[in-house]
Chain A
Amino acid sequence: MKKSLFLCVLTAGVTRAAELPLPAKIEFNRDVRPILSDNCFFCHGNDPKHREAKLRLDVREEAVKSEAFVPGKADASELVKRIFSTDKDEQMPPPDSQKKLTARQREILKKWIAQGAEYQGHWAYENPVKAAVPAGQNGVDVLVQKRLAEIGLKPSAEADRRTLIRRLYTDLIGLPPKPEEVAQFVADQSPDAYAKLVERVLASPHYGERMAIGWLDVVRFADTIGYHSDNPRNVWPYRDWVIKSFNDNKRFDRFTIEQIAGDLMPGANQETRVGSAFNRLLLSTEEGGAQAKDYEVRMLTDRVRAVGAAWMGQTTGCGQCHDHKFDPWTQRDFYSMGAFFADIKEPILGRREDGITVLDAEQEKKLADIGGQLAALQADIVKPHPELAASQAAWEKTALDAIASGSAWQTLKPISATSSKKNLTLKADKDGVVRAAIDGKRDARNQNDGTETYTITAKVVAGVTGFRIEALKEKSAGVGLASNGNFVLSEIAITEGKKSAIQIGHASATFEQTGFAAAAAVDGVADKKDNGWSVLGGTGADQALFLELAEPLDDADAVLTFKLTFARGENHEIASLRLSATTAPKPVRAPNVSLPAKDIVDVLKVAPEKRTAAQKQKLEAAFKQLAPELSDLRAKIANAEKEKADFEKAAPKCIVSIHSDAPRTVRILPRGNWMDESGEVVKAALPHYLPQKKIEGREPTRLDLAEWLVSRDNPLTARTVMNRLWKQFFGTGLSKVLDDLGAQGEPPPNPALLDWLACEFADSGWDVKHMVRVIVTSATYRQISTATKEQLAADPYNRELARQSPFRLDAELVRDNALAISGLLAPKIGGPSAKPYQPEDYWDNLNFPRRIYPADTGEAQYRRGLYTWWQRSFLHPSMVAFDAPSREESCAERNRSNIPQQALVLLNDPTYVEASRTFAARILGECKGDTAARIRWAWQQVLQRDPDAAEQKMIAALLNERLSAYRQEEKSADALLKVGLAPAPAALDKVELAAWTHVARVLLNLHETITRS
């Protein structure tokens, strides 16, 4: 019974439209174009390569010339004959096209031709016209009501105050109001109570967070590169830029220009550059075997599609291979738009660069402080130090002696030099210097920890009595690879073939850091972080370790293996080293000075009185790097340098647009094939079918593209943006196809309204907050969202806006709502992306490298949903369940599904279990009344209304059952209360807390809780 009625009503709903009489006057855009576009343009449209019988129906003159129809004479028109024909060879559309006209569509075409077959330009390509609105009235209401009057519908009543404030909070800040806020608003009798509320909510810093969600979808913002290994990249400062832009009410034209050309703007600064990260949000790959030309094209097409979707409401992707079949967009337009971005400096394949450092005011001050301290210390060492004269003279003498005996050292030429880690490579040059190079990914992926071992083999002569290992100060910051220029050589072991280790009798060094003496490198302890030879305070000059052998080597031409172990981690390896051997008689000892570099040796060899001023200065500077008297100062400098380097390393970074004067060549690729280089080279150009921008005597740039997008002459941008904005407040766009305002999209049922909004937007100076205000203060917005039977029958999809619509919260807001109610939500705005609890091994299918997911602790665990780490190939499963897009492609319209996974998430995801038990603790801790009062209090927190009697009864019964159950099994209560990191208040009875957790859980799972009505 129920079934048959349902089907019958449904059928009625679907066929209703077919029963409407044809409009008296057929309008091309509203009535005809959708039919032609969907059924005819594929073969008789804009794309010449696909055109059949040389006929095109998208241009009136062409259609008339080809005698497709005779305006005014339907019966004499070939088109009419063909569409009514039953002959399979004649019929249009042809049966094998899988297209079929309805009877009504045929009648429309016939009537249209009979009425003269007038064409109109496509609505979205015509400049919007602003309807006149009486002063003091809201344009939205005027135009909605005008339309409702035309079709015989009446607007609905205003929703109650509780519904209004809940709706407004959800739509503008994405958080639930507190019961007190609702009560205050309900009690506010002043005529401008609602207007005041709107202003308060618009001024909230959470407004920017709420507004950012939709924008981040269309620009496909994500933390990872997308393809294959899907590794991270630095982009979160861009997300914060979006939030801040909305909060500051940055005008939309400026907002646009900063994103597309923030680096090219006059007065470009950190803020505009971060905005230009938009151009870098595309997918990229690190897959081996990927071809640069292939991905160069993928990146170009990715960008064109994104600009098309985000600003123009145009589906541009088809232009990669051919002209658009329905819209005037051509393949040339496609590649010409791609050419605007050919100047962006970027690796086509492989890892993204770190990007620019992005500091806020506080961080800038901190960096200035650190820099200031460092500069002061450096000034201290640079200034004249006459007190060192005597010790310098002594050093010069010792050094000259050391140089003289240095000839007894023979450099060993390594046969091989290998490292144990893949991300550090060793290379020996012909002079025997072994240099280490670190892979750029090492630090970025925090793979600089653990033990590194250098293994070097070399041949020696017979009779060797000692070895010297020099750590050379070359171009790097110090002799070591660590950020302070230091290294820690944990252990050195020397072996000959398979024979046992060569015994070392004594170790000494040119410099020893306190607590890190040379002897520690030969003590047999190789695996302790704090044990080894190290040189902080002497990192600015060459240093050397001297090893005296217990017994001279007697084998001639022995091949020795030197194993140098560095167990400190954090890049504490030697940057460049040289091995030497001596056959001089014992003792083999380090001179008490660091070995001078060659240029210093040259100066030393000059007699003191013959040295030039520059040479003297050089010598003094060299000595300052060695003088024991300055050892403390040098250590301070090294530490300050480390502090600065660490700060800079940890500072937020963002990949941004950087202009290159040598742009990539862009060609039209026949059939989109990147291997076919026969196509014409194209320069940047605006789409040919839209009003152009005057650019004379120079090539257009991204800045031109950006300015053109937000110029008054561009008919698309304001409409596209307003259409999307409308969806945020009504659940559906004014034209329901948000990503396509072209021929295959939907002409809006109320075009005057969309046009008015678009004009008002531009007239207001692209003031987003103004437009939000206009919409949410309208009576249209404030209507109730329940529908009457009449409304359902007349307008099932609520396209005419005689009421509001209820819809489920977006994925991020489902989370925010639960966290806010539970009291766990961290209200902080911005910052690095956060990692909420995620099922173990969810990232098992990621590789290169294998990934583990460390869930955040502390405040970071309780961030709002929009800060969730956006891993494109494996987005957080709770986000996926509630339809958050992966953001691999621009997404203007999210699905709004209702699937069992949503139930599983709300019931079992530890985030929601923890929210339930902390909310339960709030109920018990903050409401001191009886059970009924507590249930009421809980209802108020979640739904800002009182439970009715039946609800009270149901929930009280549930609570009582749970109380007695948990009294029987306290262990279960314990287990439940341990879910999540937040501690359960010890003062509360755990049986009560567990039982109330169920109450909280039921409330957080309610449809009403996750629905905005």
Chain B
Amino acid sequence: MDPLTPAEITRRAFLGKVSQGLGAVALASLMRPSMLGAAQSRGVLKNLPLPQKAKRVIWLTMAGGPSHLETFDPKPKLAEMDGKPMPESLTKGQQLAQLQGKPLNCFGPQHLFAKFGKSQIEICALLPQIGSVIDDICLIRSMTTDAINHDPAHMFMNTGSQIAGRPSMGAWVTYGLGSESEELPGFVVLTSLGKGGQNQPIAARQWSSGFLPSKFQGVQLRAKGDPVLYLTNPPGISKERQHGDVDAINALNRRRDALTGDPEIATRIAQYEMAFKMQASVPDLMDVSAEGAKTLELYGCQPGDGSFASNCLLARRLAERGVRFIQLYHKDWDHHGGVKEGIAQKAQEIDRACMALITDLKQRGLFDDTLIVWAGEFGRTPMSQGGSGRDHHNKAMSVWMSGAGIKGGIVYGASDDLGYAAVENVTTVHDLHATMLHQLGIQHESFSFKFQGLDAKLSGVEGAKVIKDILA
């Protein structure tokens, strides 16, 4: 009994930094997930103030900045204006990236659009599979962001701040709600490369836990090598010997615990057990060979091909196993040139996989409590760059959400006739975060962590709003 004393809490440097309303029980659950029943949240938020529509999130990050004008935002007017100068009233004094100070001419959409589903929503004709599930999707055409270069824009989309050191949304959510898996991390990240060669770098800070405890950091699952870093036993060490060593370590640690009563020792023992479990559960997770030809065909992937489609399938498997936040990065959307060919290539890579993910979650009964978000870090200019491409753009972009109490088959918000700026129901990244937290049962204004004297929040200090109109 002795080790279970109030000193248990001393090891948490963040104690006293947690926001109001978190009781001792919630803290206990954070430290010892197994001590509480599954019915309760395993994070710091014990009693969720809102109904929990989403139990988990699958966030599809289209890294590089997809052009909304060739994917989800049809602009016939822009086609008419092709080659003509952009109206200066729109662009004067505005922030541009590589086009700063260059002539600004309209560049018509490079692909045809078509109407899909009962809702007859118009999206790029190269995305017929997404079109086939469009009635399950809420398309937001009025998203905006603050940043205009890849790195800061990813930081903003992931953490709500352009300054490094803030927790990523996956860390926030796992911190708040804990993980439902005892054998896998609560926040998992997968990346895939595109075939177009515009694979912008992505820093590990994008899935960092920032000032939150490190246990909430995203764990990257890799297609090559160890799926989780250092997961595999050293050469020559069998599973049995590994188990034996872990048992010996834990037995010796238990003796030490009895002597010193240092509560960190009990935690360390639990972590070795968890690590050993992960050594079995992660390979099991990654092994999709039991999925059957039908499923592989649905996603359009081959086991171990490292594709976006493969990662979508893994996302479903992670969702089944209780992982709280699953973030996929698919790269190569940075079409400064050749947007036409680039988008055609990207459509091939993601169209079927996105449809498959929604379909598969539905057929397994997971769709209704899984929130899916599809978003890049910014949109692209209606102006041409170099005659065949588009520059970074933060005044308008398209994102979509699906599942977990989000209305399907609707379009929310609009950009102007040329797709330059969001003009109707303008939304921000903070709004997107607030809405996501809302669906998870979390009140975004009061979900905070004391950092540098401030109640730091994912949804920022500027005032974010839940996008109520898109909630079922």
Contact = CB atoms under 8 A, between A and B. Distances in A.
Contact of B9 (A13, A229, A962, A975): A13
A899 B215 contact: yes
B112 interface: no
Contacts of B200: 228, 847
B98 A289 contact: yes
Given A840-B225, A845-B201, A998-B245, A1011 B262 contact: yes
A889 B163 CA distance: 8
Contacts of A903: 246, 268, 271-272, 274-276
B127 to A, nearest CB: 26
Interface stretch (B81-89, B116-124, B251-259, B316-324): B251-259
Interface in A770-789: 786-787, 789
Contact of B165 (A888, A904, A1008): A888
B110 interface: no
Given A285-B149, A315-B453, A13 B6 contact: yes
Nearest to A914: B234
Nearest to A897: B214
Nearest to A327: B453
Interface residues of A, number: 118
B164 A888 contact: yes
Contacts of B237: 972, 976
A971 B235 CA distance: 10
B27 A10 contact: yes
Interface in B256-281: 256, 260-262, 264-265, 267-268, 271-272, 274-276, 278-279
B416 interface: no
B236 A972 contact: yes
Contacts of B225: 839-841
Interface stretch (B203-211, B285-293, B346-354, B361-369): B203-211
A798 to B, nearest CB: 7
Contact of A806 (B24, B255, B264, B450): B264
Contact of B256 (A11, A895, A1007): A1007
Contact of A787 (B27, B242, B261): B261
B452 A907 contact: no
A3 B455 CA distance: 32
B472 interface: no
A1011 B268 CA distance: 11
B360 interface: no
A910 B232 CA distance: 11
B191 to A, nearest CB: 6
B204 A955 contact: no
A689 interface: no
A875 B236 contact: no
Given A5-B4, A11-B24, A880 B93 contact: no
A291 B95 contact: yes
A675 B235 contact: no
Contacts, number: 284
Contact of A908 (B1, B93, B232): B232
Given A291-B100, A792-B5, A845-B201, A839 B236 contact: no
Interface string A736-772: 1101101111000000000000000000000000000
B27 A908 contact: no
Contacts of B165: 888-889, 891
A948 B256 CA distance: 11
A471 interface: no
A457 interface: no
Given A740-B452, A877-B229, A886-B164, A793 B6 contact: yes
Contact of A910 (B15, B234, B445): B234
A795 to B, nearest CB: 10
Nearest to A326: B453
Interface string B1-30: 110111111110101100010001101100
B438 to A, nearest CB: 15
Interface in B86-126: 93, 95, 97-98, 100
Nearest to A739: B452
A900 B392 CA distance: 39
Contacts of A886: 164, 204-205, 208
Interface string A922-962: 00000000000000000000000000101100110010011
B296 interface: no
A223 to B, nearest CB: 15
Contact of A883 (B24, B28, B214): B214
Nearest to B237: A976
B214 to A, nearest CB: 4
A196 interface: no
B391 interface: yes
Given A99-B20, A290-B149, A743-B453, A675 B93 contact: yes
A898 B191 CA distance: 26
B25 to A, nearest CB: 6
A12 B6 contact: yes
A847 to B, nearest CB: 4
Interface string B397-412: 0000000000000000
Nearest to A292: B100
Given A874-B203, A896-B13, A897-B214, 20 more contacts: A7-B28, A14-B24, A100-B20, A289-B148, A675-B93, A744-B454, A745-B453, A844-B222, A848-B201, A877-B229, A878-B230, A886-B205, A888-B165, A895-B13, A901-B230, A902-B271, A903-B246, A907-B242, A1005-B272, A1007-B256
For the complex of A and B, the 6 pairs showing the least CB-CB separation, nearest first, are A744-B453, A13-B6, A289-B97, A976-B236, A873-B203, A975-B236
7 contacts: A11-B25, A228-B201, A317-B452, A875-B204, A904-B278, A907-B246, A951-B255
Interface of A: 2-3, 5-7, 9-14, 98-100, 226-230, 283, 285, 287-291, 294, 315, 317-318, 326-327, 675, 736-737, 739-740, 742-745, 786-787, 789, 792-793, 796-798, 805-806, 808, 839-842, 844-848, 872-875, 877-878, 880, 883, 886, 888-889, 891, 893, 895-905, 907-910, 913, 948, 950-951, 954-955, 958, 961-962, 965, 971-979, 994, 998, 1001-1002, 1005-1008, 1011, 1013
